[in-house]
Amino acid sequence: MLLLCSLSQKSLRLLSCAVAFTLVFVCSGSESAEVIKSVEAGVAAEHEAFFNNSVLPILETHCFKCHAGEHQKGEFRLDQRSRLMTGSESGAVVNLDSPEESILLQAVRYDGYEMPPRGKLADSEIAIIEQWVSLGVPYPADRIGIVEEQKPEAIGAKVSDDERAFWSFRPIQDNVPPVGASHPVDAFIDQQLASKSVTAVGPASPRELIRR
Ligand code: HEC
């Protein structure tokens, strides 16, 4: 108390801030698992490292050839968290509320489903997938995800015929310059001037040229 009394008002305010912050932190601790489950972006750094170093190599080696990009066996893709959460043609494969019941785990354990089909993963690899699921399948958003080519129509962009006719989008043509001028480029310019009823002035003298 004596100590508190001797503190200035400013340090008291700081102290109460620190206490409040600690309380908030302690209270929210129990929800951190929920946060991990729901957050797609902003995956905690240690989970990102765990995914990149331990999970991703397994997925790349054993799963992506059938479940990534255009390879969607069972209509199931594993190369983005949102795809993983959408599940397969028969529905969700990850159960965040009861991770143990996840079909993904049954599949890698060869318990009802058998993935990868040609040979079970090593026990250590299965353990990594189990840990990954129990953490809420943290997946650095947009880190991998095989990007498909997107046509303008697919993202709602409309390209009009006028826009398509813009000169730089048209195929190169072999134009024959109009006759008349000594240089073919001048011939095109003369043609445009004539079409606008403009007469070209004569060539500039060296004196005029140097003053320009
Ligand atoms: C050689 C191709 C192939 C590989 C490699 C492969 N799968 Fe599959 N997977 C399939 C096929 C085909 C299906 C569709 C269901 C079936 O026919 O068994 C499927 C379905 C699944 C399903 C959905 C099961 C369901 O019915 O809902 C999960 C989950 C799954 N795979 C996980 C994995 C995981 C995890 C890996 C890597 C460890 C993996 N698969 C590797 C071919 C493959």
Residue nearest to atom 36 of ligand 1 (CA): 63
Q: How far is the CA of 58 from the centre of ligand 1 (A)?
A: 14
Percent of the chain's residues with pLDDT above 90: 41
Q: How far is CA 141 from the centre of its chain?
A: 7
Identify the three-state secondary structure at position 179.
coil
Nearest to 78, CA basis, from 88, 37, 35: 88
What pLDDT sits at residue 143? 53
What pLDDT sits at residue 175? 81
pLDDT in tens, 160-170: 888 888 988 88
Q: Tell me how far apart the alpha carbons of residues 125 and 58 are, in angstroms, rounded to a whole number.
A: 7
What pLDDT sits at residue 16? 53
For the CA of 90, the nearest atom of ligand 1? 27
pLDDT in tens, 90-123: 899 999 999 999 999 999 999 999 999 999 999 9
Q: Is pLDDT above 50 for 31?
A: no
Residue 114, ligand 1, Cβ within 6 A: no
Residue nearest to atom 7 of ligand 1 (CA): 116
Q: Is pLDDT above 60 for 197?
A: yes
For the CA of 89, the nearest atom of ligand 1? 27
pLDDT in tens, 127-141: 999 999 999 999 886
What pLDDT sits at residue 107? 97
- Tell me the range of 24-28, 106-110, 142-146 where mean pLDDT is highest: 106-110
What pLDDT sits at residue 159? 79
Residue 63, ligand 1, Cβ within 6 A: yes
What pLDDT sits at residue 53? 93
Q: Tell me how far apart the alpha carbons of residues 92 and 105 are, in angstroms, rounded to a whole number.
A: 12
Mean pLDDT of 40-49: 73
Identify the three-state secondary structure at position 51.
helix
Q: How far is the CA of 139 from the centre of ligand 1 (A)?
A: 19
- Tell me the range of 47-51, 122-126, 191-195 where mean pLDDT is highest: 122-126
- Residue 133 vs residue 83, higher pLDDT: 133
End-to-end CA distance of the chain: 86
Mean pLDDT of 55-59: 95
AA letter at 166: F
Percent of the chain's residues with pLDDT above 70: 73
CB 104 within 8 A of CB 92: no
Q: pTM of this prediction? A: 0.58
The count of residues in the chain is 212
Residue 160 parent element (H or E): none
